[in-house]
């Protein structure tokens, strides 16, 4: 009896290994499959490519495309591992704006899209977006821009009304032409309704202010200037003041707690790039329809987020990958993506298109989001992201969070942040 | 070992018999060492090699730096912070857990009705996907709307900011770890208890010993090797704590540093941050190696301490 | 052959095992109910959310009663990712790892416990040492190794490193120490059994309960593993369940009800295996062949 058990087990192991062997043969990221070229495109969250890909496959019968969607944080970690290992990356990969600088350093692992004529596409984008995706002064084209963040300020109408503030979005926009005015509004709001927080987190405010400066932590020549740059300390102090006065919810953006706070309407404003609208809607739930609205952000336009499509060198079909990426990022397609997912196009031809500017968002009280974000995009001053930007940013975020949580004073937190950032940036 | 068989009939049988005795043990343990050699030893040595270089994750080897990484580590306040957090979390989650598991096993060992049902139930926390665990505990320990704070409010206690306070975060994470692993260890003890000779219990019953006394005088010493085993495995697991605190961190693996003040960042979390977010693979490897040595030491200490405790009876 | 199958030894008083302690009183059951509730609650919560929709997670009072969306969510799960493939893959991976650990672990454990050979103690210390190596440490060199072997996106990349672990060797050595007395081996040798026959027909049956426990744990660990599979597996080609769950959560915003539906489904096979193996775990009839 025991012998049979063991015998059966042994058979099972052999069988399992055999099955594995068969399953293994199906592996391989890109290749030629019965005459067709298989391309893979690695994205995170929703780039709106589902129907577009179907169309592309129909128009190109010799090409098959598969999408790989993973969570954003995993996506970039995996990409790093895949580049390090030299294998396993998709033929086309999306890279988010915050991570581009990091991957730009390893540009030797990517195809220079200029080799396939990408430079001809340059005029499709605003200069700042194009430059973000290039290296070596434009000689190396790392990625083609997909969407962009653009910045507005979302607010809760009913909470504003309860606090005696104007509710109409034009007037709300007039409340805060500058961030100092925004802070003043926060005070007015808190004075009349002290039980509700004015903003979800000081981190978003700080980020928005910094994103509007030309040079933040790093100067355009990539030298570290955070300790000398008054823009950084001013932004930090303003945001930290909100935190110290407990006018923020001290929430981690887009976390589960943030979702709950949205549903419970425990904060009245938040900085919202175009892609955040869907997140706010999902978190607040259907019963909040019409209660949120969108106004212009203080300080003019800004950009938060947006991505690029790049082609890793390890892929087998760089030319076809480039063609697909080029098509996906063309203004026509970006317009369609906007209609489906609300991702804001990064090309003027698209976001200035009357179809786009006429779009309203039902949930946000029929706000003309196409117009609002388009205007923001026009007026935005791009900020320079240094190569080590992603290493320095968490230092300051943590410092600001400590102030929000009441663990440190603003000056102590800032001093500590400067010290830590110094170590990381060298 | 009695290796002599009856006198072999011919040369081949003789050879097989020789091989059988002398080399079989090595053959038998070879699979383990083969797998370990390729997938355990090689990464270990490779990591040691990497720790001696300035090694970037994507760009690779940037030059030999000798022990510079180790020197930097000793001077790194974040490292000592992570070490302290790890030790604290380890103690908080393991010290109550093992006795609780022991007690649970004792309870499960009785003549219960629906035995299988209870045993399966106890194992469930270990079976549930980590994603679900993260969500549930986020709901439990939320600052404004969490269930625990709600219950505390019922008895007049102020809401606790579980993610911000150091002590609170350690308590919360320990509860996660304990919830997840107590049942697992309980089943291990339970399996071991089946091997305790029944006639010893018979003798105790005849002698009129109480259940408590029986437990301490017979059961515990009877499963002493297993207890030692779980102490070692829990030590190793506790010192390498990563999943539970990472799930507890609202920033996750993307931006999380174990809290704004690194109040619950463990060594492995720090390792991950340095290697996979900041791409400093050399430093990350250094942390890994130091962690390995620390685990060796602590496991050794625990082993000798427990051996002394569990040997009465 | 004297020890072809270990004889069922029925010893007097053995039935006392079932009456070892007086039947559990109500206090005991009360305690068990509390423990069970605490253990089951997250699973129940997952089920509740899975049967409703995402927005209930934001409610001030968390949802506690099931809703009616379960079927719809299950359909969505299978539409979004190839969940049945993922389950199949996980079964293959976890099953192979479990069986392999039982076999190879018992072999090694038997060798360390009952065979004398040179270097036995030092080799065993090395085994213990290897268990202290943190998993995350090996990820990058392991990945490079997988790239060289061209195993990226294949199931063997996940199976082969887990074929045998220090835990298994440790555990089964323990089991052999406890349940395979020297007398038994002597008897086998006297009868002319070679080492391998001794192993298959004497040792292995004797440690069946412990082997079943170990197989169970190996299965569960392999089933729940997500760190390494997430790095080395392709979510489209050959995901395991944990990788698929991660893909479910990767929408524009995290659709928790979708993900938790998947998580609830993912628990079922493990519970099934547990029930299947439970008779072995409780203590087989063969156990205790030589006692006292």
Is C249 in the A-facing interface, judged by CB distances under 8 Å?
yes
Which ipTM score applies to this complex? Answer: 0.81
Q: Is the pLDDT of residue C237 over 80?
A: no
For chain A, give every residue range classified as CATH 3.40.190.10: 31-149+305-357, 152-304+365-425
- Report pLDDT digits (tens) over B103-158: 888 888 876 777 778 888 888 888 887 778 888 888 888 888 888 888 898 898 88
Q: Is the pLDDT of residue A247 over 80?
A: yes
Contact C152 A88 (CB under 8 A): yes
pLDDT of residue B16: 52
Average pLDDT over residues A178-189: 93
Q: Is the pLDDT of residue B312 over 70?
A: no
| Cβ proximity of A267 and A197 under 8 Å | yes
Residue C139: domain span:
78-283
Is C10 in the B-facing interface, judged by CB distances under 8 Å?
no
Q: Is the pLDDT of residue A367 over 50?
A: yes
Measure in Å the smallest separation between the Cα of B268 and chain A Cα atoms: 16
pLDDT of residue A323: 93
Contact A256 B278 (CB under 8 A): no
A102 in helix, strand or coil? helix
Contact B139 C62 (CB under 8 A): yes
Structure tokens at B200: 């010893």
Q: Is the pLDDT of residue C155 over 80?
A: yes
Contacts of A390 in chain B (CB under 8 A): 277
Write down how long chain C is. 292
The chains in contact with chain C, meaning 3 or more Cβ pairs closer than 8 Å, are: A, B
Burial status of residue C3 (CB atoms within 10 A of its CB: 0-12, 13-18, 19 or more): middle
Provide the pairing of β-strand A63-70 with A36-44. Answer: parallel
Q: Is the pLDDT of residue B309 over 60?
A: yes
Is C17 part of any domain? no
pLDDT of residue A33: 54
Q: Is the pLDDT of residue A18 over 50?
A: no
B208 in helix, strand or coil? coil
In angstroms, the CA C244 to CA C226 distance is 10
What phi, psi does C110 have (nearest 5°)? -60, -45
Measure in Å the smallest separation between the Cα of C261 and chain B Cα atoms: 10
Q: Is the pLDDT of residue C224 over 60?
A: yes
Measured from the Cβ of residue B156, the count of other Cβ atoms closer than 10 Å reads: 6
In angstroms, the CA C156 to CA A173 distance is 58
In angstroms, the CA A340 to CA A359 distance is 11
As a whole number of Å, the end-to-end CA separation of chain C is 24
| Number of structural domains in chain C | 1
pLDDT of residue A391: 85
| Residue-averaged pLDDT of chain A | 85
Q: Most distant CA pair in chain A: distance in Å?
A: 84
pLDDT of residue A186: 93
Contact A257 B142 (CB under 8 A): yes
- Report pLDDT digits (tens) over A113-169: 999 988 989 988 888 888 889 988 888 999 999 988 888 999 999 999 999 999 999
- Report pLDDT digits (tens) over B17-33: 555 566 777 877 788 88
| Cβ proximity of A129 and A139 under 8 Å | no
In angstroms, the CA C184 to CA C188 distance is 6
Contacts of C136 in chain A (CB under 8 A): none
| Cβ proximity of B10 and C86 under 8 Å | no
What phi, psi does B302 have (nearest 5°)? -60, -40
Measure in Å the smallest separation between the Cα of A162 and chain B Cα atoms: 22
Domain A152-304+365-425 -> CATH class = alpha beta
Q: Which residues pair with A93 in a beta bridge?
A: A42, A310
- Report pLDDT digits (tens) over B96-105: 999 999 988 8
Structure tokens at B232: 């070692």
C256 in helix, strand or coil? helix
Measure in Å the smallest separation between the Cα of A201 and chain C Cα atoms: 18
Nearest-by-Cβ selection for C104 from B24, B32, B47:
B32
Contacts of C250 in chain A (CB under 8 A): 44-45, 69-71, 74
Nearest-by-Cβ selection for C250 from A66, A70, A286:
A70
| Cβ proximity of B256 and B192 under 8 Å | no
Higher pLDDT, A412 or B218: A412
B173-232 residues touching C, CB cutoff 8 A: 179, 183-184, 187-188, 191-192, 194-195, 197-199, 201-202, 205, 211, 225-226, 229, 232
Contact A70 C231 (CB under 8 A): no
**CA C162, C164, C166, C170 torsion: positive or negative?**
positive
- DSSP for B210-238, please give it: -HHHHIIIIIHHHTHHHHHHHHHHHHHHH
Residue (of B298, B294, B290) closest to B47 by Cα position: B290
Burial status of residue A393 (CB atoms within 10 A of its CB: 0-12, 13-18, 19 or more): buried
- Report pLDDT digits (tens) over B245-261: 988 888 777 777 888 88
Cα A308–chain centre separation: 10
Is B101 in the C-facing interface, judged by CB distances under 8 Å?
no
pLDDT of residue B107: 85
Average pLDDT over residues B185-212: 83
* CB neighbour list of residue A166: distance below 8 Å, 6 or more residues apart: A160, A172, A175
Average pLDDT over residues C88-110: 91
Contact A83 B58 (CB under 8 A): yes
Q: Check residue B275 and report its DSSP letter.
A: I
Cα C259–chain centre separation: 23
| Cβ proximity of A40 and A68 under 8 Å | yes
**pLDDT above 70 coverage of chain C, percent:** 84
pLDDT of residue C284: 38
In angstroms, the CA B290 to CA A110 distance is 35
Select the CATH number that applies to the domain covering A31-149+305-357 from these four: 3.90.1170.50, 3.40.50.300, 3.30.230.10, 3.40.190.10: 3.40.190.10
Measure in Å the smallest separation between the Cα of C233 and chain B Cα atoms: 17
In angstroms, the CA C224 to CA C245 distance is 11
Q: Most distant CA pair in chain C: distance in Å?
A: 73
Could you tell me the pLDDT band of residue C250, with boundaries at 50, 70 and 90? low
Could you tell me the pLDDT band of residue C24, with boundaries at 50, 70 and 90? low
Is B26 in the C-facing interface, judged by CB distances under 8 Å?
yes
Cα B245–chain centre separation: 14
- Report pLDDT digits (tens) over A380-407: 878 888 888 888 998 999 999 999 998 9
Question: Among all residues of chain B, which has the CA nearest to that of C261?
Answer: B132
Read off the CATH number of the domain in which C245 is found.
1.10.3720.10
Q: Which residue has the tokens 């992201």?
A: A385
Q: Check residue B38 and report its DSSP letter.
A: I
Contacts of B21 in chain C (CB under 8 A): 195
In angstroms, the CA C251 to CA A262 distance is 19
Contact A394 B255 (CB under 8 A): yes
In angstroms, the CA A333 to CA C114 distance is 70
Is B46 in the C-facing interface, judged by CB distances under 8 Å?
yes
- Report pLDDT digits (tens) over A57-66: 999 999 999 8
**pLDDT above 70 coverage of chain B, percent:** 91
Contact A283 C251 (CB under 8 A): no
Measured from the Cβ of residue A343, the count of other Cβ atoms closer than 10 Å reads: 25
| Cβ proximity of A208 and A151 under 8 Å | yes
Contact C36 B121 (CB under 8 A): yes
In angstroms, the CA C159 to CA C95 distance is 10
Measure in Å the smallest separation between the Cα of A409 and chain C Cα atoms: 32
Contacts of B35 in chain C (CB under 8 A): 160-161, 163-164
pLDDT of residue C17: 44
Contacts of C81 in chain B (CB under 8 A): none
- Report pLDDT digits (tens) over A304-330: 888 999 999 999 999 999 999 999 999
Nearest-by-Cβ selection for A45 from C60, C89, C252:
C252
Contact A85 C96 (CB under 8 A): no
CA atoms within 13 A on the CB side of B168: 15
Q: Is the pLDDT of residue C79 over 60?
A: yes
Q: Which residue has the tokens 């097989």?
A: B16
Is C271 part of any domain? yes
Q: Is the pLDDT of residue A10 over 70?
A: no
Measure in Å the smallest separation between the Cα of B292 and chain C Cα atoms: 6
In angstroms, the CA B291 to CA B274 distance is 14
C167-186 residues touching B, CB cutoff 8 A: 167, 169-171, 174, 177-179, 185-186
In angstroms, the CA C277 to CA A246 distance is 56
Contact B138 A257 (CB under 8 A): yes
Structure tokens at A153: 């300020």
Nearest-by-Cβ selection for C57 from A16, A69, A259:
A259
User: ∠C45-C48-C52 over CA atoms, to 5°?
Assistant: 140
Record the pTM.
0.84
C25-64 residues touching A, CB cutoff 8 A: 54-55, 57-60
Average pLDDT over residues C271-289: 60
Residue (of A332, A353, A335) closest to A344 by Cα position: A335
Is C54 part of any domain? no
Could you tell me the pLDDT band of residue B243, with boundaries at 50, 70 and 90? confident
Q: Is the pLDDT of residue A27 over 90?
A: no
C151-170 residues touching A, CB cutoff 8 A: 151-156, 159
Contacts of B153 in chain C (CB under 8 A): none
- Of B145-149, B191-195, C247-251, the one with minimum mean pLDDT is C247-251
Q: Which residue has the tokens 């993900």?
A: C259
Residue (of B112, B145, A420, B127) closest to C266 by Cα position: B127
Nearest-by-Cβ selection for A2 from C154, C205, C236:
C205
Q: Is the pLDDT of residue C239 over 80?
A: yes
Cα A54–chain centre separation: 25
| Cβ proximity of A187 and A246 under 8 Å | no
Residue (of C269, C254, C284) closest to C90 by Cα position: C269
What phi, psi does A276 have (nearest 5°)? -85, -15
User: ∠A100-A97-A418 over CA atoms, to 5°?
Assistant: 80
C11-50 residues touching B, CB cutoff 8 A: 13-14, 16-24, 28, 31-32, 35-36, 38-43, 45-46, 49
Could you tell me the pLDDT band of residue C116, with boundaries at 50, 70 and 90? confident
| Cβ proximity of B275 and A96 under 8 Å | no
Contact B260 A255 (CB under 8 A): no
In angstroms, the CA C289 to CA C3 distance is 11
Contact C57 A260 (CB under 8 A): yes
B229-288 residues touching A, CB cutoff 8 A: 250-255, 257, 260-262, 276-279
Average pLDDT over residues B212-218: 83
Q: Is the pLDDT of residue A107 over 60?
A: yes
In angstroms, the CA B115 to CA B267 distance is 40
pLDDT of residue C249: 72
| Cβ proximity of A87 and A119 under 8 Å | no
B253-312 residues touching C, CB cutoff 8 A: 268, 271-272, 275, 281, 285, 288-289, 291-292, 295-296, 299
State how far the alpha carbon of A321 is from the alpha carbons of A324, B192, C189, C246, in Å. 5, 58, 67, 26
Contacts of A21 in chain C (CB under 8 A): 156
Structural domains of chain B, with CATH: 11-51 (no CATH), 68-309 (1.10.3720.10)
Return the residue in A99, A255, A403 with the most chain B beta carbons within 10 A, the one to mutate for interface testing: A255
Nearest-by-Cβ selection for A3 from C59, C200, C237:
C200
Could you tell me the pLDDT band of residue C180, with boundaries at 50, 70 and 90? confident
Q: Is the pLDDT of residue C13 over 50?
A: no
**pLDDT above 90 coverage of chain A, percent:** 43
Burial status of residue A358 (CB atoms within 10 A of its CB: 0-12, 13-18, 19 or more): exposed
- Report pLDDT digits (tens) over B57-99: 888 788 898 899 999 999 999 999 999 999 999 999 999 999 9
């Amino acid at each position: 009896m025991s012998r049979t058990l063991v015998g059966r087990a042994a058979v099972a192991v052999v069988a399992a290994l055999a099955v594995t062997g068969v399953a293994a043969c199906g592996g391989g990221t890109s290749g030629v499959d019965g005459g067709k070229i298989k391309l893979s495109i690695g994205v995170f969250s929703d780039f709106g490519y589902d129907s577009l890909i179907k169309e592309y496959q129909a128009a190109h019968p010799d090409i098959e495309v598969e999408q790989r969607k993973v969570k954003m944080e995993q996506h970039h970690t995996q990409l790093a591992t895949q580049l390090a290992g030299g294998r396993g990356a998709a033929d086309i990969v999306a890279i988010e704006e915050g991570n581009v600088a990091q991957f730009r350093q390893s540009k030797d692992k990517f195809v220079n899209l200029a080799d396939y004529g990408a430079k001809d596409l340059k005029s499709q984008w605003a200069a700042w977006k194009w430059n973000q995706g290039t290296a070596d002064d434009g000689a190396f084209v790392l990625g083609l821009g997909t969407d962009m963040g653009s910045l507005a300020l979302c607010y809760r109408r009913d909470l504003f009304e309860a606090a005696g503030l104007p509710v109409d979005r034009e007037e709300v926009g007039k409340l805060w032409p500058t961030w100092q005015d925004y802070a003043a509004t926060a005070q007015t709001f808190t004075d009349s309704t002290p039980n509700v927080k004015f903003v979800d987190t000081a981190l978003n405010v700080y980020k928005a202010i910094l994103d509007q400066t030309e040079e933040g932590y790093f100067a355009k020549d990539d030298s570290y200037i955070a300790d000398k740059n008054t823009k950084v300390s001013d932004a930090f102090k303003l945001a930290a003041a909100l935190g110290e006065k407990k006018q923020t919810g001290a929430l981690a953006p887009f976390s589960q707690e943030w979702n709950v706070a949205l549903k419970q309407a425990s904060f009245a404003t938040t900085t919202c790039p175009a892609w955040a609208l869907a997140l706010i809607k999902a978190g607040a739930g259907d019963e909040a329809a019409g209660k949120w609205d969108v106004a212009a952000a203080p300080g003019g336009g800004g950009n938060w987020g947006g991505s690029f499509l790049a082609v890793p060198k390890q892929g087998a079909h760089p030319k076809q990958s480039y063609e697909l990426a080029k098509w996906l990022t063309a203004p026509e397609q970006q317009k369609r993506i906007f209609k489906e997912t609300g991702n804001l196009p990064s090309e003027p031809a698209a976001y200035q298109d009357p179809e786009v500017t006429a779009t309203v968002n039902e949930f946000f009280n029929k706000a003309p989001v196409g117009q609002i974000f388009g205007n923001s995009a026009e007026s935005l001053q791009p900020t320079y992201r240094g190569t080590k930007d992603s290493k320095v940013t968490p230092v300051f975020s943590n410092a600001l969070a400590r102030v929000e949580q009441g663990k440190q004073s603003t000056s102590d937190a800032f001093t500590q942040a400067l010290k830590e950032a110094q170590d990381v940036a060298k | 070992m009695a290796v002599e068989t009856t006198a072999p009939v011919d040369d081949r049988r003789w050879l097989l018999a020789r091989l059988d005795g002398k080399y079989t043990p090595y053959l038998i343990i070879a699979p383990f060492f083969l797998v370990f050699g390729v997938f355990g030893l090689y990464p270990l040595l490779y990591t040691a090699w990497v720790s001696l270089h300035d090694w970037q994750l994507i760009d690779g080897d940037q030059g030999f730096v000798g022990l510079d990484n180790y020197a930097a580590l000793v001077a790194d306040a974040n490292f000592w912070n992570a070490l302290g957090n790890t030790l604290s979390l380890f103690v908080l989650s393991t010290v109550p857990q093992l006795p609780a598991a022991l007690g649970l096993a004792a309870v499960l060992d009785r003549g219960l009705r629906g035995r299988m049902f209870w045993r399966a139930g106890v194992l469930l926390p270990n079976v549930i996907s980590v994603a679900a665990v993260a969500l549930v505990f986020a709901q439990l320990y939320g600052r404004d709307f969490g269930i625990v704070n709600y219950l505390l409010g019922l008895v007049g206690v102020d809401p606790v900011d579980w993610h911000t306070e150091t002590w609170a975060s350690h308590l919360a994470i320990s509860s996660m770890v304990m919830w997840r692993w107590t049942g697992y260890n309980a089943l291990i003890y339970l399996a071991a208890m089946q091997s305790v000779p029944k006639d010893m219990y018979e003798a105790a019953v005849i002698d009129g010993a109480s259940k408590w006394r029986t437990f301490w005088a017979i059961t515990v010493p009877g499963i002493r090797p297993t207890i030692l085993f779980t102490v070692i495995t829990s030590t190793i697991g506790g010192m390498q704590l990563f999943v539970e605190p990472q799930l507890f961190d609202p920033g996750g693996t993307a931006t999380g540093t174990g809290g704004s003040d690194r109040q619950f960042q463990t060594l492995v979390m720090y390792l991950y941050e340095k290697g996979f977010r900041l791409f400093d693979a050399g430093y990350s490897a250094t942390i890994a190696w130091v962690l390995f040595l620390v685990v060796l030491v602590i496991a050794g200490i625990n082993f000798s301490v427990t051996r002394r405790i569990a040997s009465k009876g | 052959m004297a020890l072809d199958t270990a004889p069922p030894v029925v010893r007097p008083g053995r039935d006392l095992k079932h009456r070892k302690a007086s039947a559990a009183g109500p206090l005991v059951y009360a305690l068990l109910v509390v423990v069970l509730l605490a253990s089951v609650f997250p699973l129940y919560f997952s089920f509740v959310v899975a049967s409703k929709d995402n927005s209930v997670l934001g409610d001030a009072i968390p949802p506690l009663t099931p809703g009616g969306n379960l079927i719809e969510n299950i359909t969505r799960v299978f539409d979004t990712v190839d969940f049945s493939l993922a389950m199949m893959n996980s079964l293959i991976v976890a099953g192979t790892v479990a069986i392999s650990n039982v076999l190879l672990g018992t072999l090694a454990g038997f060798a360390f416990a009952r065979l004398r050979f040179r270097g036995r103690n030092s080799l065993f210390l090395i085994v213990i040492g290897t268990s202290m190596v943190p998993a995350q440490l090996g990820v990058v060199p392991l990945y490079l190794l997988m790239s060289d072997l061209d195993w990226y996106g294949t199931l063997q990349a996940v199976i082969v490193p887990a074929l045998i672990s220090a835990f298994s060797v440790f555990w089964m050595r323990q089991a052999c120490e406890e349940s395979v007395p020297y007398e038994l081996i002597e008897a086998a040798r006297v009868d002319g059994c070679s080492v391998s026959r001794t192993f298959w027909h004497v040792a292995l049956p004797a440690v069946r309960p412990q082997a079943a426990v170990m197989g169970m744990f190996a299965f569960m660990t392999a089933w729940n593993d997500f760190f390494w599979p997430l790095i080395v597996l392709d979510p489209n080609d050959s995901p395991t369940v944990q990788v698929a769950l991660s893909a479910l959560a990767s929408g524009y915003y995290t659709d928790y009800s979708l993900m938790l539906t998947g998580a609830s489904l993912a628990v079922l096979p493990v519970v099934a295996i547990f029930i299947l193996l439970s008779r072995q775990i409780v203590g087989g009839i063969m156990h205790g062949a030589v006692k006292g």
